[in-house]
Amino acid sequence: MSGDVLQVVGEITPYVTAAAGAYGVAVLVRTQDEAASATVALGRRLAQRIFGSRADGEELPEALADVVEEPDDPDTTAALRKAIRKALLADEELAADVRALLGRSPAPLRTGDGSQVVTGSVIGGDSIQIGSVGGDVHLGRPARG
């Protein structure tokens, strides 16, 4: 059982981290955000299932709050992974629910040489905040002929 949980924890932590980075302290608030990407939306559902929903302004669990503050810090991600693992090992029903949610996850992003990849981005209204871009990507308006 614990080996299976470790694999699930490894698979879901990036989703929860993405949701924490996108939603910040509102990650556990039960609201619908239609602009959220499938990955971020799944991460939010996973975080809410594991840590419970919260009212707006209610305090987050420490491990999740730390990821909100420093989403790129490997130590905060490791602490979140540990908190998720402890929760799943303590509750087999929760672990089964999380596996079911994970089974409905979006297809993994496939990349390779020459692939255009945008990560860590946030889309809101008519603006996009890009975290990082890789590959042969050109930004600008297409030439009009």
What is the pTM assigned to this prediction? 0.59
Per 3-state DSSP, the chain is made up of helix, strand and coil in percentages (nearest 5) of: 50, 10, 40
Sequence-ordered list of residues with C-beta below 8 angstroms from that of 124, at least 6 positions apart, any chain: 35
What span, in angstroms and rounded, lies between the C-alpha atoms of 132 and 129?
A: 9
Per cent of the chain over pLDDT 90 is: 22
CB atoms within 10 A of CB 45: 16
Structural domain spans, the chain = 2-107
Check: CB of residue 16 under 8 Å from CB of residue 80: yes
pLDDT at 127: 57
Q: How far apart are the first and last CA of the chain?
A: 62
Give the model confidence (pLDDT) of 42-101 as tens digits: 888 899 999 998 888 889 999 999 988 888 888 999 999 999 999 999 999 999 998 888
pLDDT at 5: 82
Mean pLDDT on 35-48: 77
The distance of Cα 77 from the centroid of its chain, to the nearest Å, equals 11
